[in-house]
Amino acid sequence: MSNFPALHDDTLHAAGLTGGSLVCADGLIWLPYDVTREPETPRGLEALAGRRPLHCASKVPFTLDWARLREVHILNASGVALGDAIVAFSVLSALKARHPHLELVIHQARHAPASVRQLAELARPLIGELRLLPQPVASIPPDATLIDLGDFAYWPAFDELPMFDFFAHALGTHPDTLPASARRNAWLQRLDLPEPPPPWRDDAYALFVPLSSSPLREIAPEARPEFVSRMADFYGLPVVGCAEIDAPRYHCVAGHSRNTAQFLGWIRAARVLVTTDTAALHAAAGFDIPTLAGFVSIDPAMRAAGYPFCTALDLRRPALHGLHHSEDPALLALAQSAWNEALKRELPWPAPGPA
């Protein structure tokens, strides 16, 4: 999830500028995430909701009649984490497919990671126009519908609902009105992705993704060689991944996974995936890749609900419950110990997918 620095928690919170997007004195729309990463804080920040009519589910839940809408602008629809973006785009692509007349405009964070911006470019033909914030308030027509997801990672509902349900409600629609395929991110199958390079283009492999956007959720470094060994023994396949791991039968392919399209290509072609609570989990669901995913802090039902090919490994510890990230050495050590404990028992390896 997003890692807001102290400025967000202190300065913006104290000023009552949380729960949505902001506007500065010169009329530019800013996301709280971007404000905290600018060398100088924009002058005269205030809540955008006080300047222009909008829908923000963190303030007031709402439902839209999407069949009657024409131009819809969405602030921070993709978020700033790749996994969030995959799920959010599942909802948006389903809405666009059902209502082709919609003109969707996605306003992204100026400082969003390259991986998220690359995914948005891949998704653009299926969703709509992309704009990089900050943008003038006046650039959004007064008769257009405006939906604000300004700092959604801090909304209580983000920790209380499965991700797909959260984004559906945040976008003013009920999740049960969307096709079941959307819940498992099937829109990814419509992307034009590169194949892995030889020999992996033709040779079967198991994929190991121990890394995450937060060290709290990464598979402990000392546990990674043992995971690789057990994967290779159980599946009888070479194991590939982007992390540097010193282990027999492991191949680091980081040099061939330098962007989001290549990363998704590796996942699409894998026979099986072993990972943590990270974007690879959501991408694998889109391609129906059998997955074993471990969770040290977040309830698996909040992340893997609707993923029929995912086997969740619940490794949660009470002290870690609900945390998306942490830099506390004691909590990081506790999270890493959960992975080491998992290796002391038989793991529920899912059956591999077809060649």
| Cα–Cα distance, 321 to 91 (Å, whole number) | 27
Per residue in 195-207, pLDDT tens?
999 999 999 999 9
pLDDT for res 29: 97
pLDDT for res 178: 96
> Is pLDDT at 326 greater than 90 in this prediction?
no
Q: Which two tokens stand for residue 335?
A: 């999270």
**pLDDT band with cut points at 50, 70 and 90 for residue 18:** low
Least confident of 135-144, 153-162, 224-233: 153-162
What is the chain's Cα-based Rg? 21
DSSP string over 162-227: -HHHHHHHHTTS-GGGS-HHHHTTGGGGGS--PPPPTTTTTS--EEEE---SSGGGSPPGGGHHHH
- For the beta carbon of residue 202, count every other beta carbon within 10 angstroms: 10
> Is pLDDT at 15 greater than 80 in this prediction?
no
Q: Which two tokens stand for residue 286?
A: 């889109």
CB 19 within 8 A of CB 150: yes
CB 271 within 8 A of CB 235: yes
> Is pLDDT at 57 greater than 80 in this prediction?
yes
pLDDT mean over 169-179: 96
Place of tokens 């911006």: 117
pLDDT for res 17: 60
> Is pLDDT at 49 greater than 90 in this prediction?
yes
- Give the Å distances, CA to CA, from 86 to 82, 115, 116: 6, 11, 9
Segments of the chain assigned E as strands: 22-23, 28-30, 46-47, 71-75, 103-108, 128-132, 135-136, 145-148, 206-209, 239-241, 250-252, 272-276, 291-295, 310-314
> Is pLDDT at 341 greater than 80 in this prediction?
yes
pLDDT for res 355: 75
| Cα–Cα distance, 344 to 103 (Å, whole number) | 53
pLDDT for res 14: 45
pLDDT for res 321: 87
> Is pLDDT at 127 greater than 70 in this prediction?
yes
- For the beta carbon of residue 218, count every other beta carbon within 10 angstroms: 22
Instruction: Say whether the peptide bond before residue 197 is cis (omega within 30 degrees of 0).
Output: no
Structure letter (DSSP) for residue 27: S
pLDDT mean over 13-17: 52
Counting Cβ atoms within 10 Å, is residue 6 exposed (0-12), middle (13-18) or buried (19+)? Answer: exposed
Least confident of 84-88, 164-168, 241-245, 322-326: 322-326
**pLDDT band with cut points at 50, 70 and 90 for residue 304:** very high
